[in-house]
Amino acid sequence: MESGVFFSDYRNDAALRKMPLQKIRIGLFVLAVVIFPFFASPFLLNLANQIAIATVGALGLNLLVGYTGQISLGQGAFMAVGAYAAGIFTVRFGLPFYLSIPLASLMAAAIGLLFGLPSLRLKGLYLAIATLAAQQIVEWIITHWTGLTGGTEALVVPAPELFGVRLNRDFNFYWIGVTVAGLSALFVANLVRSRVGRAFVAIRDQDIAASAIGVNVFQYKLLAFATSSFLVGLSGALIANYRTIVTWERFTIETSILYLAMIIIGGLGSVSGSFFGAVLITLLPAVINTIGRNFQDSAPAIAAILPFVQQATFGLIIILFLILEPEGLAKLWRNVKDYFRVWPFSY
Amino acid sequence: MSAPPVILDVRNLELRFGGVKALSGVSMDVRRGEIFAIIGPNGAGKTSLLNSISGLYRPQVGEIAFTWPDQPAVSLLSRKPHQIAALGIARSFQNIELFRHMTVLENLMLGRHVHMRGNVLSCGLYWGRQQREEMKHREAVEDVIDFLEIESLRSKPVGTLAYGLQKRVELARALAIEPKLLLLDEPMAGMNVEEKEDMARFILDINEERGITTVLIEHDMGVVMDLSDRVAVLDFGKAIALGTPDAVKRDPDVVHAYLGEQHGELEAPGASE
């Protein structure tokens, strides 16, 4: 598939999709994404929207954990900042969604920057504990600053509207979600193939060598925290506008861990891996639920235990992935592609 | 011909780790355009000295000044490693410190980091000016790739390369900075004779064709004597000799440090370690 393709300039050689086949593949994918909502049921559309939002969040976390190597347990907190900020900007200041969402993302970036400060001194598990503190602090503030956030009560956000069209309907939101997810993926892919992203990966692989080669390690760690939190906050802000109800239960430590699972299963340091992980983690509970409903009449006993099995299945899949393919779904996909690279020849 | 100007001036350097003195009162000067070797028995403080120059260690006493013609002298002691790299001081490490998961090309592009301007927004958009910047520096990197003859490795992840090639890629990454001063920490450690000869040729080429001042630590006496213009000898954190290879070879203190008491001239270079 690759033979006979040569590049005569660096621009083509550095392109994201170089081979004709790759261009066809991405074209087909975009086509499928565009025609999907016209055939999908509301249930599937809802899932697609969840996947789009989760993809944005997973891309953000992957930038920080997968590319820069800074473990974070604060994902839920940064999403919460995005969601609550978007809600509060709309409710209190009457800002339209197209202003409140970017502002909320910037807010999340600022908070992410703040909680990235310990990364100056802390690495690995120690940093993870420091970000866990971020999670707890943000949760505490949200549940206790009742005047601003509504505390443990839900914060109700007016539905986003544009020219009288309610955008939080599944079909309408789909276009927003998919566009934002696509642009985020493009943003991260561009970032990691150029100066800033290379510095991120350098810090992950060898931080001392990175500083000796001229990378300001601390500055770039903070930059990674801010950029990552921007995307994570963006996904939180999307949730607020899609669900129109913001509750703190949605952004607990469990969310943080779920997103870590997403990028580990999907593939650390991989843009497509973020998407694959978001797809798997979103679809898995839905699939298990659907199976449960089918058993409802024929085997109620099985259906009754399914909610518990769901958790166990979840855990089992994560363990299996870590054992069988530590590099995640992105690696599996790469294996498939590698197999077909010279197909039908053996080498 | 007058002696070239001194560009790196190390004065009375003292580096302590707790109660252990890694360096005590080390002084030396490196002149522009020369190949300067630092030798000494294991644990003499060679790498500590190099780490102090590149900002990874903070000596408690002394001064390291970097001077470039027509520019004011700068003290390296108050500067962070990334600032020192930006001054044009590049280095390689004794145990290869490459970015293992990146390709050779990406590793070398990191060498261009200090020369590039791209920020989060411009890199995320990768459009216009940013794309042109990437391509421009890609050309500079390709120059280095040609120079060190690693064309075929360009898109290989460095973690998969053989040891000797990794050493060469690390040299290439340091070269991509376009350094004024190149610090090499045992560039030939663990290599076979053929690889050593290649590496020696590259170091000479870098020095002669690109005019880059080089400071290297090396254990292979044959290599040191052949390559270097001047040699400094460290022993137990002290500089015991400094001069041309021939002079250093005959210095009684050096012979004593390497061979102990009651020996004649340092013979059979290379066998001493």
Taking a C-beta distance cutoff of 8 angstroms, is the pair B181, B66 a contact? Answer: yes
> What is residue A164's predicted lDDT score, i.e. its pLDDT?
80
A34 versus B265: which is more confidently predicted? A34
d(CA B34, CA A248): 65
Strands (E), chain B: 6-17, 20-31, 35-39, 61-66, 74-75, 89-91, 181-185, 213-217, 230-235, 238-243
Quick check: is B2 in a domain?
yes
DSSP β-bridge partners for residue B30: B8
* Residue whose token pair is 């074209």: A27
Reading the block at residue A220, the tokens are 């770039």
Taking a C-beta distance cutoff of 8 angstroms, is the pair A135, A74 a contact? Answer: yes
Taking residue A182's Cβ as centre, other Cβ atoms within 10 Å add up to: 16
Quick check: is B75 in a domain?
yes
Beta-strand pair B230-235/B35-39? parallel
> What is residue B273's predicted lDDT score, i.e. its pLDDT?
43
Length of chain B, in residues = 273
Quick check: is B35 in a domain?
yes
Beta-strand pair A245-246/B20-31? unpaired
Render pLDDT for A249-269 as a digit per residue (tens, 0 to 9).
889 999 999 999 899 988 898
DSSP β-bridge partners for residue B24: B14
Reading the block at residue A148, the tokens are 């601003």
The reported pTM is 0.89
CB within 8 Å of A124: residues ≥ 6 apart: A71
The CATH code of the domain that includes B238 is: 3.40.50.300
- Mutate one of B95, B106, B113, B175 to test the A interface: name it (highest A CB count within 10 A): B113
Quick check: is B11 in a domain?
yes
Q: What angle do CA B83, A219, A110 make, to 5 degrees?
A: 160
Under an 8 A CB cutoff, do B120 and A193 touch?
Answer: no
Calculate the dihedral angle through the C-alpha atoms of A272, A194, B160, A125, rounding to the nearest 10 degrees.
-70
Residue B105 has pLDDT above 80, yes or no: yes
Q: What is the ipTM of this complex?
A: 0.88
Render pLDDT for A122-177 as a digit per residue (tens, 0 to 9).
888 899 999 999 999 999 999 888 878 887 788 888 888 788 888 888 898 999 99
From B4's Cα to the closest Cα of chain A, the distance in A is: 27
d(CA A325, CA A96): 44
Quick check: is B61 in a domain?
yes
Render pLDDT for B169-217 as a digit per residue (tens, 0 to 9).
999 999 999 999 999 999 998 888 999 999 999 999 999 999 999 999 9
- Mutate one of A67, A183, A198 to test the B interface: name it (highest B CB count within 10 A): A198
d(CA B120, CA A11): 20
Chain A residues whose CB is inside 8 A of the B130 CB are 194
> What is residue B262's predicted lDDT score, i.e. its pLDDT?
57
Report helix, strand or coil for A345: coil
> What is residue B142's predicted lDDT score, i.e. its pLDDT?
92
Which residues constitute the domain of residue B28? Answer: 1-88+181-189+213-263
From the list A10, A204, A208, the residue facing B135 with the nearest CB is A10
Q: Spelled out in words, what is the top-level CATH class assigned to the domain A42-341?
A: mainly alpha
- Mutate one of B54, B110, B122, B138 to test the A interface: name it (highest A CB count within 10 A): B110
d(CA A141, CA A138): 5
> What is residue A347's predicted lDDT score, i.e. its pLDDT?
62
Residue A191 — pLDDT band, cuts 50, 70, 90? very high
Residue B1 — pLDDT band, cuts 50, 70, 90? low
Render pLDDT for A8-46 as a digit per residue (tens, 0 to 9).
777 777 777 777 778 888 899 999 999 999 998 988 999
Calculate the dihedral angle through the C-alpha atoms of B114, B119, B124, B126, rounding to the nearest 10 degrees.
-60
Whether B56 has its CB under 8 Å from any CB of chain A: the answer is yes
Quick check: is B62 in a domain?
yes
Residue A1 has pLDDT above 60, yes or no: no
Beta-strand pair A245-246/A165-166? unpaired
Quick check: is B128 in a domain?
no
Chain A residues whose CB is inside 8 A of the B47 CB are none
- Chain A residue with CA closest to B91: the answer is A212
> What is residue A135's predicted lDDT score, i.e. its pLDDT?
92
Distances (CA, A) of A200 to A203, A261, B195, B252: 5, 21, 32, 50
d(CA B157, CA A4): 23
Supply φ then ψ for residue A7, to 5 degrees: -115, 140
CB within 8 Å of B219: residues ≥ 6 apart: B39, B186, B189, B273
d(CA B199, CA B186): 11
CB within 8 Å of B131: residues ≥ 6 apart: A11
Quick check: is B108 in a domain?
no
Average pLDDT, stretch A187-198?
93
> What is residue B271's predicted lDDT score, i.e. its pLDDT?
46
A56 versus A300: which is more confidently predicted? A56
Residue A337 has pLDDT above 70, yes or no: yes
Taking a C-beta distance cutoff of 8 angstroms, is the pair B135, B105 a contact? Answer: no
The DSSP secondary structure of A258-290, one letter per residue, reads: HHHHHHHHH-TT-HHHHHHHHHHHHHHHHHHHH
Under an 8 A CB cutoff, do B85 and A211 touch?
Answer: yes
Interface of A with B (CB under 8 A): 10-11, 14, 187-188, 190-191, 193-199, 201-202, 204-206, 208-217, 223, 227, 269
B271 sits in which H/E element: none
User: Identity (one letter) of the amino acid at B42?
Assistant: N
Query: What's the number of domains chain B is made of?
Result: 1
